[in-house]
Amino acid sequence: MDKVFQPVFYLFLIILLFKLSQFAYRVLRERKYRKELAQLGMPYIDRMDGRQFEFYLQALFQQLGYNIQVTPSSGDFGADLVMKGKEKIVIQAKRYSAKNRVSLSAVQEVYAAKAYYKANQAWVVTNSYFTKQAKELAAACDVTLLDRADLQKFINEVNPVFKAREIFENITPEPRKCPKCGQDLVVRDGNGTRFFGCSSFPSCHHTEKINKEKM
């Protein structure tokens, strides 16, 4: 019996190992694909300014079927975007550098905006991360926080037809004034990068990076 059983057992073991290896390969390939898809847009999101980031989120939610109201830059009552669909969602967008975390003031502001706009949900979305205090307050106030990892996952789920690069290259950053002479800063291209340059150049040589954070 042993001589009959052993070949069958080894054959079963080989088939099982083959199936497991196929499953592991599919899982790893799926994870790699999702990671590559998410990372493809994040470098451009990191280079956006606050206005461009708001337009990017607006495009994401439009693809999900929401009607979007972009609030004015001043007097927005704590919300950058108001999304109207099956539910009304107010969003505060925080385009930060990865080293700077979003504080609890963002949670306080969007929570107030939820009441003002009579929304069902309040979100704070960032390409960075949140402080411990912000997380604790959000949990107490029922405010949804999307940090860098959550944003990547959300982008994967939406699978947008547009690219972050398109938003970055085609949406004009928020207007700024030159801190040296008071003239308008305009977007310029040089050495493969885009930056703000003073409109009074060459009398003023002031420049700024486009991805200055929206605080």
Mean pLDDT within 158-175 = 82
Q: Inform me whether the pLDDT recorded for 70 exceeds 70.
A: yes
Q: Inform me whether the pLDDT recorded for 9 exceeds 90.
A: no
pTM equals 0.68
Beta strand residue intervals within the chain, DSSP E = 67-70, 81-84, 88-94, 101-102, 121-126, 129-130, 144-146, 176-177, 184-190, 193-198, 207-209
User: Model confidence at 16, in pLDDT bands (50, 70, 90)?
Assistant: confident
- Within the chain, what is the greatest distance between any pair of CA atoms? 96
What is the pLDDT, as a whole number, of residue 24? 77
Indicate the average pLDDT of the chain: 82
Given a contact cutoff of 8 angstroms between Cβ atoms, the answer to whether 107 and 124 are in contact is yes
Best CA proximity match to 166, nearest among 83, 92, 61, 55:
55
CA distance 181 to 132: 40
Mean pLDDT within 144-158 = 92
Tens of pLDDT, residues 106-124: 999 999 999 999 999 999 9
CA distance 157 to 155: 5
User: Model confidence at 180, in pLDDT bands (50, 70, 90)?
Assistant: confident
What is the pLDDT, as a whole number, of residue 210? 63
Q: Inform me whether the pLDDT recorded for 64 exceeds 60.
A: yes
